[in-house]
Amino acid sequence: MLLFLVSALGLLMLVYLGISLFYWALQERFIFVRFPLAEKYRFNFRQPFEEHWLERPDGARLHALYFTVEDPLGAVLYLHGNTGSLRRWGKRAPRFTTLRHAVLMPDYRGYGKSGGKLSEAALHADALAWYDHLAQIHGEGKVVVYGRSLGTGMAVPVAAARSPRALVLESPYANFLDVARHYLAILPYRLLLRYQFRSDRAIKGVNCPVYIFHGKRDPLVPYSSALRLYAAVPVAVHRELVTFPQGFHSDLAGYPRFRRKLRTILLNGG
């Protein structure tokens, strides 16, 4: 009996170790659900747009779509979620262009037409480079940084490093440890996770107004994580948490209250 228990325990430990190693090795595939596009791929959107490129110091060539408007009131740097490419995310541009804001939407490394090797440091540096690119066109005081889900982890450090007009976060997390705990509580996720996106630390350096949208029924990013991020905003900074009691992860823009608040942020400064 003792031998059986020891053997069973050993087998369980091997399975546990195997699952942990499996996640450690393949975590980028779970976090970054990338859909590459050929460079010759032609986008089809109703509103006018341009394709912009950035050459990075490590040789990576990055791609973005820049949606233009006549006589813009400002511009939005839109850092999208973890799945798809600009073929999908470009459809969100009218939310901003109808409010007379140009939009720059970059694809992350390996997404769409963007190349390059993934790392957290590279993603942060890329997002900052795109911000600077947009600020050169419109002026820094005209730029709003907008992060969606995964993109909030890059949006917050950009806002901390620069001086945008506002920081808008849709379905954000305080850090990736919160998200990993939500999915991988039985695994040693702190040891396994190579991407941490510590927005709760970076946001302490933000000086612009911060607006957080989050659904209480979000099954992917816990609402409690958004609360921790909100609490970490410096007390001297204007902050607002817009909660949707029945909201999930990807449906917030369907609420009239979301659209009204976004309109107020862009047109009236909050």
Domains detected in the chain: 32-268 (3.40.50.1820)
Please state, in angstroms and rounded to a whole number, the distance separating the CA atoms of residues 226 and 19: 29
Q: What is the pLDDT of residue 161?
A: 98
CA distance 244 to 249: 10
Do residues 112 and 86 touch, judged by C-beta distance below 8 A? yes
Segment among 15-19, 44-48, 231-235, 245-249 with least mean pLDDT? 15-19
* 4-21: pLDDT as tens digits: 555 555 655 665 565 656
116-133: buried (b, 16+ CB within 10 Å) or exposed (e) per residue? bebeeebbbbbbebbbbb
**3-state class (DSSP) for residue 258:** helix
Q: Pick the more confident residue, 264 or 176.
A: 264
52 backbone dihedrals φ, ψ, rounded to 5°:
-115, 150
E strands present in the chain: 33-34, 49-55, 61-67, 74-79, 83-84, 101-106, 143-148, 166-170, 210-215, 239-244
Specify the residue for token string 């470009």. 90
Phi-psi region of 47 (alpha: psi -120 to 50; beta: other; left: phi over 0): beta
Distance in angstroms (rounded) separating the CA atoms of residues 166 and 207: 9
Give percent of the chain above pLDDT 90. Answer: 80
pLDDT at 176: 85
d(CA 169, CA 138): 21
Helix, coil or strand: residue 77:
strand
In whole angstroms, give the CA distance from residue 129 to residue 13. Answer: 45
**One-letter-per-residue 3-state SS of 109-141:** CCCECCCCCCCHHHHHHHHHHHHHHHHHHHCHH
Give the list of residues 6+ apart from residue 42 with CB closer than 8 angstroms, or none. none
Report the predicted TM-score, pTM, of the whole model to 2 decimal places. 0.92
Asked if residue 105 lies in contact with residue 89, where contact means CB atoms within 8 angstroms, the answer is: yes
Share of the chain above pLDDT 70, in %: 86
3-state class (DSSP) for residue 257? helix
Burial class of residue 107 (count of CB atoms within 10 Å of its CB; 0-12, 13-18, 19+): buried
User: Distance between CA 66 and CA 14 in Å, rounded?
Assistant: 50
**Alpha-carbon span 201 to 203, nearest angstrom:** 6
pLDDT tens digits for 60-97?
A: 999 999 999 999 999 999 999 999 999 999 999 999 99
